[in-house]
């Protein structure tokens, strides 16, 4: 039986705005964004004005206390995911958690920078965090959904159908998300973000690689193909002497997190995934996926579309029109995104979560996938720190 879905948004920043726009595209379901909470209150008030939201607060507990709200969307800094997810579950709300699902953010009274903590310890404790979140949701009998928008991209979904239709085996996956760096202050410190490019960017391609191999295993042998081992390198390349002049174009003030990583995932069938992510890439967002099969090849580019090109002799010609995320200049040839958020899967993602609540069914992207991504990310940190392959099976 379907029911009305009343959403409480917690967080009114970049992601909160994306999610609000996605909800407003859903016009055929009984859906309402009932309230938004953010600090400062003015941020919540502005989002409420833009998206016609009736109530706004500067205390998220006001949302959890409301009996009419049944879905809470957590668009908050990473270090708050576990706390708020558990409190939302205890309040009987279904929950959407942004990526990364959770992580390691340091213990109370730590005497050294969080980023200096043993990555082996980070792996163990981040998985414990994920397990606490999942247990709280299961105890409360609420849905805990993982907001991996790449999984909902129409480009990725078509690629997944092509892979399935081929009947071939995936030998290698290559995937990347990169751009010129986050300007969010919390993203630059481990205690708030839980890491750097690995958790902010690589989470997307890791999640898709795990999903594609899991689905292949279910089709071919009736059980998922699992991650066997992880090998990685990660570093803050803005510390290089040659980076001094790049600060004009690239974000440079990282505190204790990496801005570059490369991860090799070895699956239980011997196939591989090569995942890259960095904050040192100019020219706009790079969101790519290549799947190499025994009998086919599938290439995806979610960030750059050839449907539309535009030329301007200077960067003021299109000054009032959006081109694409992270593009640093509007001069010369550009490739304006026709509908960037649709291509990246945000409206489809929110629809799936709303339908999961309205029709009491499982979402495509769930807490189980979120936990697996956390395991691979922090195994990659351990591998990079110890200079070895980390076995997970």
Tell me what percent of the residues of the chain surpass a pLDDT of 90: 85
Task: Please answer whether residues 103 and 199 qualify as being in contact, where contact means their C-beta atoms are separated by less than 8 angstroms.
Answer: yes
Q: Which two tokens stand for residue 243?
A: 């980076």
Give yes or no for residue 245 having a pLDDT over 80: no
Average pLDDT over residues 261-285: 96
Give yes or no for residue 152 having a pLDDT over 90: yes
Q: Which residues are 265's β-sheet partners?
A: 230, 273
- Please tell me whether residues 132 and 269 are part of one structural domain: no
Average pLDDT over residues 4-27: 97
* pLDDT the model gives residue 1: 41
- Please tell me whether residues 333 and 254 are part of one structural domain: no
Name the one residue in this structure whose structure tokens are 């996938």. 369
Is residue 333 included in any domain, yes or no?
A: yes
pLDDT, one tens digit per residue, over 165-174 is 999 999 999 9
Tell me what percent of the residues of the chain surpass a pLDDT of 70: 98
Average pLDDT, the chain: 94
> Is the preceding peptide bond at 40 cis, omega within 30 degrees of 0?
yes
* pLDDT the model gives residue 110: 54
- Please tell me whether residues 315 and 352 are part of one structural domain: no
**Which structural domain range is residue 328 located in?**
304-343
Is residue 297 included in any domain, yes or no?
A: yes
Q: Which two tokens stand for residue 296?
A: 């086919």
- Please tell me whether residues 241 and 223 are part of one structural domain: yes
Name the one residue in this structure whose structure tokens are 């730590």. 110
Is residue 134 included in any domain, yes or no?
A: yes
- Within 10 angstroms of residue 242's Cβ, the number of other Cβ atoms is 7
- Please tell me whether residues 124 and 22 are part of one structural domain: yes
pLDDT band at residue 303, thresholds of 50, 70 and 90? confident
> Is the preceding peptide bond at 137 cis, omega within 30 degrees of 0?
no
Give yes or no for residue 255 having a pLDDT over 80: yes
pLDDT band at residue 324, thresholds of 50, 70 and 90? confident
CATH of the domain at 99: 3.40.50.720
pLDDT band at residue 4, thresholds of 50, 70 and 90? very high
- Please tell me whether residues 247 and 280 are part of one structural domain: yes
Give yes or no for residue 63 having a pLDDT over 60: yes
The helix/strand/coil state of 273 is: strand
Is residue 373 included in any domain, yes or no?
A: no
- Please tell me whether residues 134 and 201 are part of one structural domain: no
Give yes or no for residue 79 having a pLDDT over 60: yes
* Torsion of Cα atoms, 31 then 32 then 33 then 34, to 10°: -140
Percentages helix, strand, coil for the chain (3-state, rounded to 5) are 40, 20, 35
Give yes or no for residue 109 having a pLDDT over 80: no
pLDDT band at residue 108, thresholds of 50, 70 and 90? low
pLDDT band at residue 112, thresholds of 50, 70 and 90? low
Is residue 32 included in any domain, yes or no?
A: yes
- Please tell me whether residues 35 and 130 are part of one structural domain: yes
Q: Looking at per-residue confidence, does 2 or 375 come out higher?
A: 375
- Please tell me whether residues 38 and 162 are part of one structural domain: no
Is residue 371 included in any domain, yes or no?
A: no
- Please tell me whether residues 218 and 110 are part of one structural domain: no
Is residue 158 included in any domain, yes or no?
A: yes
Average pLDDT over residues 21-27: 97
pLDDT band at residue 326, thresholds of 50, 70 and 90? confident
- Please tell me whether residues 113 and 19 are part of one structural domain: yes
CATH of the domain at 277: 3.30.360.10
- Please tell me whether residues 132 and 166 are part of one structural domain: no
- How many domains is the chain partitioned into structurally? 3
Q: Looking at per-residue confidence, does 111 or 62 come out higher?
A: 62
Is residue 372 included in any domain, yes or no?
A: no
């Amino acid at each position: 039986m379907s029911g009305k879905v009343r959403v409480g948004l917690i967080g009114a920043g970049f992601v909160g705005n994306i999610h609000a726009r996605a909800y407003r595209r859903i016009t055929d379901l009984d859906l309402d964004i009932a309230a938004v909470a953010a600090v400062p209150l003015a941020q919540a008030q502005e989002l409420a004005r833009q998206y016609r939201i009736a109530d706004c607060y500067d205390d998220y507990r006001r949302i959890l206390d409301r009996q009419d709200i049944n879905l809470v969307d957590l668009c908050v800094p990473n270090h708050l995911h576990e706390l708020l997810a558990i409190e939302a579950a205890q309040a009987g709300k279904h929950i959407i958690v942004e990526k990364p699902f959770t992580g390691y953010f340091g213990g109370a009274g730590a005497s050294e920078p969080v980023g200096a903590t043993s990555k082996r310890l980070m792996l163990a404790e981040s998985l414990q965090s994920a397990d606490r979140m999942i247990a709280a949701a299961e105890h409360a009998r609420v849905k805990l959904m993982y907001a991996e928008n790449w999984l909902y991209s129409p480009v990725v979904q078509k690629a997944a159908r092509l892979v399935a239709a081929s009947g071939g085996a995936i030998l290698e996956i290559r995937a990347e998300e990169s751009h010129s760096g986050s300007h969010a202050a919390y993203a630059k410190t481990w205690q708030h973000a839980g890491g750097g490019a690995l958790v902010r960017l690589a989470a997307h391609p890791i999640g898709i690689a795990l999903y594609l191999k899991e689905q292949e295993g279910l089709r071919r042998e009736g059980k998922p193909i699992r991650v066997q081992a992880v090998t990685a390198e990660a570093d803050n390349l803005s510390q290089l002497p040659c980076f001094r002049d790049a600060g004009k174009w690239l974000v440079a003030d990282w505190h204790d997190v990496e801005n570059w990583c490369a991860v090799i995932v070895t699956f239980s069938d011997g196939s591989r995934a090569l995942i890259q992510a960095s904050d040192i890439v100019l020219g706009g967002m790079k969101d790519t996926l290549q799947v190499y099969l025994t009998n086919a090849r599938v290439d995806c580019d979610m960030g750059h579309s050839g449907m539309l090109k535009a030329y301007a002799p200077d960067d003021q010609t299109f000054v009032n029109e959006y081109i694409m995320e992270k593009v640093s200049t509007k001069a010369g040839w550009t490739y304006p995104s026709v509908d960037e958020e649709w291509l990246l899967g945000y409206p489809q993602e929110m629809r799936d979560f709303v339908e999961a609540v309205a029709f009491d069914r499982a979402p495509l992207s769930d807490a189980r996938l979120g936990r697996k991504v956390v395991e691979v990310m922090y195994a990659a940190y351990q591998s990079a720190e110890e200079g070895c392959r980390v076995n997970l099976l």
